[in-house]
Amino acid sequence: MSLDVVRDLAYFVQDDEGPGRGILLLHSFWGLTSSVKGLADDLADHGYTVLAPDINFGELPDSEQEALDHLGAASPDRLASLVLSAAGLLYEKASEGPIAIIGFGMGGSLALWASVRLPDLITAAISFYGSQQIDFAGSQSAYLIHLAEEDDYISDDEAVFMEATMGLEDLEVAVLRYSGTRHGFCEPDGETFDPDSFDLAWKRSLEFLSERLAR
């Protein structure tokens, strides 16, 4: 497996056999941590080409409050521009076809948003406890959404509305909730990490990707 760091602003990895279908991996407010890079490595081991941009611009918060403060100070336009440009770069330079996008927390919200903005590039989207209250008209993606049983950041009404708006467009969508979990249950860097639920959610995600991005 070959590795490269793209101008210190992203983590790029692909299988030894060369380029495969591309996956854009968007981290949560914890930043581009070693855990996120480990997920990118695992995806590459499954034959994918992965680009994980640093949408925290080098910041690795020491606490949840610091992470929230950093997110609150971030420019939405700058975040959006980085995600769109990273998706375009991956699609044009490294992928064998339309890409998938995976995001955690804020990265999950950005992944859902980007799937609508770039329907010709993105064919599948996976969100871990990220939500969007947008019109999904025009999307060409299939969706897999992992939600916690209890989430201080996503209300039940928001989750229901999101699924309903996707349903109005006849999009393929699966929303899965994990018993006994809280927001961040797939984040080894946070206090709410649930290893068993993460293992199950990641397994389901790999199966979802395999069905839609088969080489």
What pLDDT score was predicted for residue 2?
36
The distance in angstroms from the start CA to the end CA of the chain is 17
Is residue 3 pLDDT above 80, yes or no? no
Is residue 7 pLDDT above 50, yes or no? no
> What's the CATH superfamily of 2-212?
Alpha/Beta hydrolase fold, catalytic domain (3.40.50.1820)
What pLDDT score was predicted for residue 8?
61
pLDDT in tens, 171-208: 999 999 999 999 999 999 888 999 999 999 999 999 99
* Residue from 173, 169, 190, 172 nearest 181 by CA: 190
Give the span between the Cα atoms of 107 and 131, in whole angstroms. Answer: 10
Give the span between the Cα atoms of 206 and 31, in whole angstroms. Answer: 22
Where are the chain's structural domains? Answer: 2-212
In order, the DSSP letters of 140-167 are --EEEEEEEEE-SSS-HHHHHHHHHHHH
* Residue from 146, 127, 152 nearest 200 by CA: 146
What pLDDT score was predicted for residue 158?
93
H or E element in which residue 110 lies: helix 106-117
Show the tokens assigned to 127. Answer: 């969100």
Pairing, β 122-128 against β 49-53: unpaired
pLDDT in tens, 127-184: 999 999 999 999 999 999 999 999 999 999 999 999 999 999 999 999 999 999 999 9
What pLDDT score was predicted for residue 201?
98
Which of 7-16, 28-37, 59-68 is predicted with the least confidence, judged by mean pLDDT?
59-68
Looking at per-residue confidence, does 115 or 4 come out higher? 115
pLDDT in tens, 60-90: 877 777 877 777 777 778 888 999 999 999 9
